[in-house]
A and B are shown apart, each in its own frame.
Chain A
Amino acid sequence: MAEQIVLRSFYFFMGAFFITVILSPTLILLLKKLKIVRRDDRDFSSLIRTRKNKLGTPVFGGIIIVGVITALTTLFNWHRETTFVPLGVLWLAALLGGADDLLNIFYTKERHPRTLGRILRFIKFHKNLRYRIFYAVTFPWQTYKRIFYLMGSHPGKGVQAHEKIIIQLVIGGIIAWWLSFKLDWTELWLPWLGNIDLGLFIIPVILFLVMFMANSVNITDGIDGLSAGTLIIAYGAFFAIALQQGSSDISLLIATIIGTLCGYLLFNIKPAKYQMGDVASLGMGILLTAIAFALDRPILLLIIGMIFIIEIMSVIIQTSWKVLFGKRLFKMAPIHHHLEIINKEESSIVMYAWTFAALFGVVGVWLSFQ
């Protein structure tokens, strides 16, 4: 059985790899022609001297990852009970990430939120009654938006943090519905302890992990080869777990993902010919979480995805540090940019990340056997 899965996975891997490699040059040319490239007016990281040469590199390259996974899985690995929902949430995440990428490039207006005091004044004193009602009705939404702004969310041109969180919650909700109601699955596996029935409390766990991992992978996608390499290793670890469980559909899905990521990585190694962008990085994180749940090993995300977690924790700590102490802990967050600023070679950072990702991946697989 395992031999058959490996053989079929090999075909999926090779297929995904070659399709990605063949299509990438055309995509790069197209992205350049459409001017979907990295620009300095919205890219904080281009403050780093060594990153100035990244300006002009096509972004949105992740569309090929989403496209290849969708095509191969829909044509050859379509199963309503296993691959349907992971693919669906990948597409939802791709829509969200893609909109963010394109808005960041083509939408020129910044959207600054109004202060709550001002909105309250509008509600009380605006000469037009309809506006007064509108502001009163939307006040809870404005409050929600304002909270994000106070926490440091930058009112950029793309999809803003408070909007992303809502959409990620919806995606997390779909996964939670799929697992809890369609698959009647409410247990959380823990190494050495086995399955613990959480009942409906599994839903907040799913929501948290989906949002956490989506943003973690998104944040890791910052320097050439970092996210793709660490994702290949993380998916590789889950592939080993899927093989161990004899889960054919999920193994083939993972093989497709690894294949397309390897093809993408060929063009993303420094100097990158194109970059993933949010279109795929959000989806890759969400897909990783969906697969971890499908394999009944979500808790191992915290080990196998350790690099992603370190990256997002550096952002959370940096934001908290600013609020609590009024200064930056790192020169720049996420931590890979901090390391760049303190003159660590970009390629060294990536190599270290891959090495530690492999280490954590092996530990994760070992834990899965416990």
Chain B
Amino acid sequence: MSIAIQSLPQSALNVINAYINLKAAENKYIRCPYFRNPRSGRERWGLTAYSGKGSAQEIETELEIIEKLEGKNFSEMHENEIRDIMRKRKLGIECSGFVTRILDAWTREFYKKPIYSLIKFNSSGISWLFCKMRPYTHIDVPTLVHQKNAYEIKNVNDIMPGDIVRFNSIIDHAIIITKIEKDVNLNLIKAYYAHSVSEDNGEGVKEGQIDFASGKWCELPDTGHTIDEKGEPKFYRLFITEPLWQNK
């Protein structure tokens, strides 16, 4: 039986909700699909929304334009059809972009600053300049978990909401812990998470949970995949999130 439940602040949870319920049209809400930030090309140097790093509002704005470009009426279309169009148009969110936007809402609430002004970019020269000009595009998983910005948590019982789980085997992937449940001995029972994931089926923004008692991972929507397929997880805490829990 759990006695301690902690979760991300409401502002951060609202961001997750905004990606899960993207407004495509009046009374039509869809789950944001996955789009991986390309290393080069038009998308990399275009709008943030088209580089897999856009905010939910930016993606919604682009959706409105895409609806016009495609000559479609999204309010009469099935969610999967709209998501297919978004994928074709390369509109979506990638894992680190999703995590960044959630943490960004948190830092804006507590520090009154965006995340990119609080974390350190591991770059110099011209690439440092690009990082400053297009900060969201340049925050990726290695940046978030870099030793300048985060440290590894060895004991899973220390995990808190806002911590990042990194899978660096098949593909570099990050998820964010949104809520935890602990028992009387302060042992972790369950951790809830959210992420934007690339899959052959049902990819996009998803929520899931890890049951530490049974070691099982499950996700919603259930697409027959779980995140543990990605490899061995490593847990990280950003330095910027630590004071937020100490203040609580």
| Chain A residues close to B by CB (< 8 Å) | 40-41, 44, 46-47, 115, 149-150, 152, 322-328
Contact = CB atoms under 8 A, between A and B. Distances in A.
**Among B47, B53, B64, B134, residue most surrounded by chain A Cβ atoms (within 10 Å):** B47
A91 to B, nearest CB: 33
Contacts of B51: 326
Q: Please name the 5 residue pairs, one residue from A and one from B, whose CB atoms are nearest each other, closest first.
A: A326-B48, A41-B71, A326-B134, A150-B42, A323-B45
B68 A40 contact: yes
A325 B137 CA distance: 9
Nearest to A321: B47
A40 B48 contact: no
Interface string B36-50: 000001100111100
B46 A44 contact: no
Contact of A40 (B64, B71, B134): B71
B106 interface: no
B68 A326 contact: no
Contact of B68 (A46, A115, A152, A328): A46
A149 B45 CA distance: 12
A152 B136 CA distance: 20
Given A149-B42, A150-B41, A150-B42, A327 B47 contact: yes
A46 B53 CA distance: 27
Interface in B62-110: 64-65, 68-69, 71
Contacts of B69: 41, 44
A47 B68 contact: yes
B65 A44 contact: yes
B48 A327 contact: yes
B171 interface: no
B184 interface: no
A324 B71 contact: no
B42 A324 contact: no
Contacts of B64: 47
A150 B42 CA distance: 5
Nearest to B50: A326
B92 to A, nearest CB: 15
A97 B45 CA distance: 30
A280 B46 CA distance: 32
Given A41-B71, A44-B68, A323 B48 contact: no
Contacts of A322: 46-47
B71 A323 contact: no
A144 B87 CA distance: 27
A152 B50 CA distance: 12
Contacts of B71: 40-41
Contacts of B47: 322, 326-328
Contact of B46 (A47, A115, A326): A326
15 contacts: A40-B68, A41-B71, A44-B65, A47-B64, A150-B41, A322-B46, A323-B46, A324-B134, A325-B133, A326-B47, A326-B48, A326-B51, A326-B137, A327-B58, A328-B47
Contacts of A46: 68
Contacts of A325: 133-134
A322 B42 CA distance: 11
A101 B53 CA distance: 36
Contacts of A149: 42
Contacts of B136: 326
Nearest to B71: A41
Nearest to A150: B42
A56 B194 CA distance: 46
A115 B41 CA distance: 9
Nearest to B55: A327
Contacts of B134: 324-326
B115 to A, nearest CB: 15
A324 B68 CA distance: 26
Given A150-B45, A324-B133, 14 more contacts: A40-B71, A41-B69, A41-B71, A44-B65, A44-B69, A115-B41, A150-B42, A322-B47, A323-B46, A325-B134, A326-B51, A326-B134, A326-B136, A327-B47
Contacts of B42: 149-150, 152
A149 B42 CA distance: 8
Interface in B4-63: 41-42, 45-48, 51, 53, 58
A115 B65 CA distance: 24
Interface in B124-149: 133-134, 136-137
A41 B69 CA distance: 6
Contacts of A40: 68, 71
B119 to A, nearest CB: 17
A20 to B, nearest CB: 33
Contact of B65 (A41, A47, A152, A327): A47
A327 B68 CA distance: 20
Contacts of B65: 44, 47
A149 B133 CA distance: 22
A324 B130 CA distance: 8
A324 B136 CA distance: 12
A44 B53 CA distance: 24
Contacts of B48: 326-327
A354 to B, nearest CB: 30
Contacts of A327: 47-48, 58
